[in-house]
Structure 1
């Protein structure tokens, strides 16, 4: 007997003397669904007879589509379901009810929008600087915020052209005869002697540079215009169309202050910030550079407990910033509420409803300063909106730097410390870092196309 093992392949019949593994197949394919490989089971790929016939067997194609007679034509149309009319009624009734509810809610929202009557008291498109509207605030003392600029009425710092009003900061050494050496040591700037200072007090109007003490003449000059003594509103609207400046550590502001300190010195009598920004490039300044706008109310019985953080807002833009084009920065203020907006009343930066006493809103009754209880300066009025119930005037300015915390320490490679006694010198010493960001001409300044002020009520 031969020692080689005979191998049987299911479905293949071989001729005697013919090796099925060496005889080439004429055609190959994957097994059909009937190929199960069982011994003796007929393989449907090959015919049942004809040992040498390896051609595949052809099968008749049969469609899987239904043919007429196997189903009813549109059985749902043969008769109406008894519940069909109720289903339709519920569906269409729900649609009508939904539309009615939506219309009612829209009407309620529309009717709830307050639309006061207003009287336009000021409109300026800046063909020039109108002295009936604007006055210059000239001083060097930092305006309570420790800012580094000296504000002037110099045409290099404030002027108008076809684009509008420009408030542009300049280096003191490039816009005055003061040299760098004088700015650093042994020079006296006295705006009282010049009879130009509008501030009160020695520090606001004069300074002597001293190299040993690190005291320098204000390294930058800018401008600040206000409607103080000329145009004020108690309740009304303000709209300023403006473009913000570019440049590190620039601080443009559109804001309002009380005409008189009825309730005491700042912040007892209040402050309204319509729009403030920082000239720093936004990607390098995480607290919000010129890609953000900040609005706030400042109020409190003492500066140490200014509660602006409870009445403030910030709006950011993406892939652009507020120095690229003009925007409308608005305020609407009534006895019952106050809010600021950008371009439209729909884009509000903050909204405050006067529905409780400001003393209670600030929780000042629970606060101690130097272990002493606070005094309520607004109790005598009995009004929820005090101190925001008196005439306020408008201010436009570009400040530079500051030590009050608007530019937080340690953010954006800030070159000075808020507690440093030589902050202006530290700022000036790093000029090579920030001056290139200011650009040239009006781009480093606040540009104002128009200003409108309305008082609430009929003219």
Structure 2
């Protein structure tokens, strides 16, 4: 059904027979064309007509002329006729302080920096709260030699209780001062002495040890016993300088090379509470020459440094793991450059650090007796009753309440477990009766790693004692 009228056409939307010539797009007004300037009333009238037209569309019948009025019509409004948004209006009315909100986070950052500075300052002050320290040694090796009034160059072949593979010697190519630096440079033993049956090393009166095998060694080809296969160095201040409470700072570069064991540490001048470790040991800094890939603990390779206190009623009850800690070199190794290895020691605490007192390695407060700290059994493995060697003093710092002297050395290998079996291609076994020989036979593997930076270089040694 359809109805045709000449002036206007009315049809049902539902009718399937629409006019064959509907209104074309060209005949329709452009919906995006800006209309002429109009008032607000015309805008309201246009909206009303649009709503009426929408109602007719919903009813199903609409005239073509009215369809034209249903298209969207934009209106250009003058800027002065448009009211400012509330947000914009409110921003114009804000105070100067409200507009400068960026000051708040900046002020917070500034306050944070100030607080950090205060905390660092207070930390530095608290670390030196142990009292006044007076300098007693300032060694920069500018004299070109080690003063015999202060330093002792040790000479022994017994391995110092660790089964170390080095002979400590005063040979000028092992322990020497050059360019303002003290060098301790390990090297190979004379091959003839190592491999000749019956060859001996007898240190005689120059020996600084007390036991026979500290001073005498020999090679026995039949049973595989050999003299120490390496010559290295160990120096101490026992003769010239020792402290009871104070500070120590050693600026040094640690050696790099497989199975080297450099250490900066202290021992008591007198064994007031008995033999090691009853009278204590202070390890300021120990590391290994192996590179960062060596991860057998405690500690690692040359990328880690450890500090520890050794103490206990007898040698098999060394409780150092309760007073031990380590520090990483942070993406480098301690043989790459010089570092300052420090100790501060009072009757209330011991702590060690690297380069700065804020870079602490170990901190041990003396808040309880070491006997109580150790939780020792009533007797040892043999059934012998254990006695508290520190019970007579009444001091919480005992046994670390006596005079201690400084030691600098580079040990090599050993059978005490510091280098763990089967770790890092270790060429010997600790329990082997021919451990020294096994190490010597692998020298083509480890000795080349010593060639570039295999010596400990010490720039300065400073010691203070509590005044």
Name the residue aligned to 2:74.
60
Contact 2:156 2:215 in 1 (8 A): yes
Cα deviation digits, residues 8-55 of structure 1 (max 9, x gap): x99x9987599xxxxxxxxxxxxxxxxxxxxx979xxxx967x9x9xx
1:184 equivalenced with 2:195 (yes/no): yes
Cα deviation digits, residues 69-112 of structure 1 (max 9, x gap): 67593299599xxxx9xxxxxx9xxx9xx99xx69x95976775
**How many angstroms apart in 2 are the aligned matches of 1:191 and 1:357?**
44
Name the residue aligned to 2:5.
none
Contact 2:155 2:203 in 1 (8 A): no
Name the residue aligned to 1:155.
172
1:204 equivalenced with 2:219 (yes/no): no
Q: Structure 2 matches for 1:348-363, cutoff 5 A? A: 348-363=360-375
Contact 2:151 2:237 in 1 (8 A): yes
Structure number with larger C-alpha Rg = 2
**Any unmatched runs of 5+ in structure 2?**
1-12, 23-55, 99-103
User: Where is the helix percentage greater, Structure 1 or Structure 2?
Assistant: 2
Which shows bigger deviation, 147-156 or 278-287?
A: 278-287
**Any unmatched runs of 5+ in structure 1?**
1-8, 19-39, 85-90
Shift of 1:365: 4.5
Shift of 1:367: 6.0
Does the residue aligned with 1:360 lie in a helix, a strand or coil?
helix
Q: How many residues align?
A: 396
**How many angstroms apart in 2 are the aligned matches of 1:330 and 1:164?**
18
TM-score by length of 1: 0.77
Shift of 1:208: 1.9
TM-score by length of 2: 0.76
**How many angstroms apart in 1 are the aligned matches of 2:438 and 2:130?**
50
| Counterpart pick for 2:90 among 74, 92, 107 | 74
Name the residue aligned to 1:395.
407
Contact 2:124 2:357 in 1 (8 A): no
Contact 1:340 1:351 in 2 (8 A): yes
Shift of 1:414: 1.0
Contact 2:140 2:180 in 1 (8 A): no
**How many angstroms apart in 2 are the aligned matches of 1:366 and 1:204?**
34
Contact 1:164 1:447 in 2 (8 A): yes
| Pair 1:117–1:285, CA change in 2 (3 A) | same
Name the residue aligned to 1:408.
420
Contact 2:183 2:457 in 1 (8 A): yes
| Counterpart pick for 1:169 among 139, 163, 186 | 186
Contact 2:152 2:236 in 1 (8 A): yes
Q: Structure 2 matches for 1:325-364, cutoff 5 A? A: 325-364=337-376
Q: CA RMSD in A?
A: 3.7
Name the residue aligned to 1:120.
135
| Pair 1:449–1:61, CA change in 2 (3 A) | farther
| Pair 1:454–1:186, CA change in 2 (3 A) | same
Shift of 1:415: 1.2
Does the residue aligned with 1:389 lie in a helix, a strand or coil?
coil
Does the residue aligned with 2:437 lie in a helix, a strand or coil?
helix
**How many angstroms apart in 2 are the aligned matches of 1:455 and 1:255?**
16
| Pair 1:111–1:280, CA change in 2 (3 A) | closer
| Pair 1:147–1:75, CA change in 2 (3 A) | closer
